Structure 1
Amino acid sequence: MTVAMTAVDPSPAVAPRPRSSFAIDVPASLLDRARRGEHAALEQLFRWFERPVFTLAMRLCGDRDDAADVLQDTMLKVFGNIGSFRGGSPFWGWLRQVAVNEALQKLRKRRLLSDELPMGEHEFEDFAPPPAAAADAAALSRAMNKLPSSTRSVLWLYHAEGYTHEEIADLMQRTPSFSKSQLARGSRRLRALLETPQEAVRG
């Protein structure tokens, strides 16, 4: 008797994409008022998205002053072009895209996007989730700031914002293999930093 064999996919299961902190449902009525330039509506949008934009900019740029600049530039660009937003996709996704582009542009101007962990000859993707110690926001912030700018950006966009490697490659004007390699090396380096006594990480 012949027994049918079922092929087993050796690739690891794909983890669900994280929910972005930008994922705020904005009422259509509020957007309509903002398009008309109502100050109260624009102020409401600013209050809702101020923290997500600043946090993303801080994680990518690693500097509070640069993050504040990115926040200001993002909001000016979004509010200046809000009349062109037609609602074909969520407003928060459009705003997040502007914020990411502004943060990466800041890194390009400072020539920091070439700052990355070197790629080995035999890289592999690190499918493990961020280490449990990442729940400590202060420790995570210190450890993230120890990483090169490009590596830090890949880690945050992938793990926190749910971008795919193809999307990250497009944003950073690199290749998907670059994103995968930086994710693997960055994840291992981040875990090592978070497992290090905090006095050493602060140094």
Structure 2
Amino acid sequence: MPPPNAPGDSAAPLRTSSFAIEVPDALLARARAGERAAFEQLYRWFERPVFTLAVRICGDREEASEVLQDTMLKVIDKIGEFRGQGARGGTPFWGWLRQVAVNEALMRLRKQRRRRDELDIDDHTPRDDAGAPPATADAAQLQRALAALPATTRSVLWLYHAEGYTHEEIANLMQRSVSFSKSQVARGSRRLRDLLEPSGEPLAEVAHA
């Protein structure tokens, strides 16, 4: 497996996103026309990736269920505005839907954050050891370790390692600085290694767990 992106690297992600499902143009056309069966098909295809992402960001299955419902309702409401797929350089449908899901999950995370204070490490300099944790823990161990991280740190790690967002994109999504994203990845990766040692598994390897 190749090494993770360096802190300032905007290269391609380590793995294909779990959202990367090719949606036929004919199915999108049926959905735009309001066909219920088409929306049910889209829901079945994207239910798991949306729910998994929401759990990783919100840290709560009930909240994740709400994010899933809100995401799919918004997709139904806004699908007529999607014009990316098929255009040169356009956004694929799965990328557009993923953006809706991330926005919904982060909106709930911000609401959670208002209810508690979190350490602001915006001015901290990340170390060079910002890679994913070592490579032998099972998915359950990693899930428990991720759950032990602060919500913001867990969200940044997931967006960076599992979904392949760059630090610049994460900073924009979370309305923070690029250095914030870098330091959260560095801090979270070190914490995961501490939790998983003497064995551990790279985050990207269990993105669909």
Could you say which TM-score interval applies, normalised by the shorter chain? 0.7 to 0.9
Aligned partners of 2:154 and 2:119: how far apart in 1? Answer: 8
Partner in structure 2 of residue 84 of structure 1: 81
Residue identity opposite 1:67 in structure 2: A
CA displacement at 1:191 relative to structure 2: 1.1
Distance 1:36 1:187, change over 3 A: same
CA displacement at 1:57 relative to structure 2: 0.2
Contact 1:71 1:99 in 2 (8 A): yes
Partner in structure 1 of residue 188 of structure 2: 186
**TM-score, normalization by structure 2:** 0.81
CA displacement at 1:130 relative to structure 2: 3.6
**TM-score, normalization by structure 1:** 0.84
- Stretches of structure 2 that go unaligned for 5 or more consecutive residues are 1-5, 85-89, 200-209
Residue identity opposite 1:47 in structure 2: R
Q: 1:160-190 CA distances to partner (integer Å, 9 max, x unpaired)?
A: 0000000000000000001000100100101
Aligned partners of 1:124 and 1:178: how far apart in 2? Answer: 13
Distance 1:115 1:149, change over 3 A: farther
Partner in structure 1 of residue 204 of structure 2: none
Q: 2:28 aligned to 23, 26, 31, which one?
A: 31
Q: 1:22-52 CA distances to partner (integer Å, 9 max, x unpaired)?
A: 0000000000000001111100000000000
Q: Could you tell me the percent identity over the aligned residues?
A: 67
Contact 1:31 1:41 in 2 (8 A): yes
- Stretches of structure 1 that go unaligned for 5 or more consecutive residues are 1-10, 198-203
Q: 1:52 aligned to 43, 49, 62, which one?
A: 49
Q: 1:45-97 CA distances to partner (integer Å, 9 max, x unpaired)?
A: 00000000000000111100000000000000011110111133100000000
RMSD: 2.5
Greater relative contact order (CA < 8 Å, ≥ 6 in sequence): 2
The number of residue pairs the alignment matches comes to: 187
Partner in structure 2 of residue 8 of structure 1: none
Aligned partners of 2:168 and 2:67: how far apart in 1? Answer: 24
